[in-house]
Copies of this chain bind each other. A is one copy, B any other.
Amino acid sequence: MFGSSLWSVSAEPVSRRARPAKAPLSRAVIVRTGLRVLDREGLDALTMRRVAQVLDTGAASLYVYVKNRDDLMAAMLDEALGRVRLPTDGSWQERLQLLVANSIEAMSRHEGLALVALGGIPTGLNALLVMDRMLALLKEGGLDDKTAAWAVDLLYLHITVAGAEQAAYNTKKMNEADHIAEVRKLYAELPADRYPLLTSMGDALFSAGDRDRWAIQVLVNGILNTPADR
């Protein structure tokens, strides 16, 4: 009875105003959507299905623009690195330290993204730009090519871990003070004969201060004092 009318309804052309054209898919749109999903819903929610859903399509459609989930995350990381501000003022050492700090900060904003940088020479255009600027600063500081090259490797590695750690820290559900108190208690209760330092210097272990800034200074000072060719 309703068969043919139902059929004709679904065959009827639908006004574009009632059902407006979707924004066309593209790699850039998928990458930005992935970043939004990651930032708003967390790493667990960053699934191909969820990203597709936000774009009002099916997961299969993403594979035209993105090789797989890892490829998507790598692209998201590079997008995030595109937001790094390149310092212009101060001595070369100040600019280098700020560039490293800015890169760490950019990575730390997005849960789990820093980890995809591990195990793989960077190939993203924005990651490479950061590396090129670091090389320029190191050469400005008078380092030889080999030391500068190795230094950039090490600095990028540090950016990755520091970013990952900071991101994990930012995302921790647990109350930070509670967590530290708990670990502190664990350290204090360790057997003192096997862990003499951890049990005895508890206060210093959790001492406040800008550890991130200090770590970057350590790296730069170390690089200046350690030529690659012994």
Residues of A within 8 A of B (CB): 115, 118-121, 123, 128-129, 131-132, 135-136, 139, 145-146, 148-151, 153-154, 157-158, 160-162, 164-165, 167-169, 171-172, 179-180, 183, 186-187, 190, 194-198, 201, 203-207, 209, 211, 214-215, 217-223, 225-226, 228
Contacts and interface: CB of A to CB of B under 8 A. Distances in A.
A226 B204 CA distance: 16
B221 A150 contact: no
Copy number in this complex? 2
Given A150-B211, A197-B132, A197-B139, A165 B219 contact: no
B135 A201 contact: yes
Given A197-B136, A214-B228, A222-B220, A207 B161 contact: no
Nearest to A144: B204
21 contacts: A118-B168, A119-B167, A121-B179, A123-B183, A128-B187, A136-B196, A145-B204, A149-B201, A150-B209, A151-B218, A154-B218, A157-B162, A209-B228, A214-B226, A217-B226, A218-B223, A218-B225, A219-B219, A221-B222, A221-B225, A222-B225
Interface centre among A120, A209, A214, A226 (most CB of B within 10 A): A214
Contacts of A149: 201, 204-207
B221 A132 contact: no
A118 B163 CA distance: 10
